[in-house]
Structure 1
């Protein structure tokens, strides 16, 4: 396992850890914070990591 990969969070559906290579879209929310949509490597769904 590569410990250098930065974790974005966990999949809200299955709990799998999601790392940066799985990012599909990065965006800025209306409140100025950054949001991310990524593909979960386990359940293969597009999610917002938590």
Structure 2
């Protein structure tokens, strides 16, 4: 993976880093914060990426 590629976060299922290119949907939650759904390139599940820390 290119080190300059933006990361959305990590897959909550397998822990794999999810690049921004795997983004499926961006939306605004009821509380006004932004949410995203992305496909995990490793386990191929659609997930809400967790913040990488």
**TM bucket by the smaller chain?**
over 0.9
Alignment RMSD, CA only?
Answer: 0.7
Q: How does 1:1-50 map to 2 (within 5 A)?
A: 1-50=1-50
TM-score w.r.t. the length of structure 1 is 0.94
The answer for unaligned runs of 5 or more in structure 2 is none
List structure 1 segments (4+ residues) > 2 angstroms apart after TM superposition: none
The answer for unaligned runs of 5 or more in structure 1 is none
Secondary structure at the aligned position of 1:27 is classed as strand
TM-score w.r.t. the length of structure 2 is 0.89
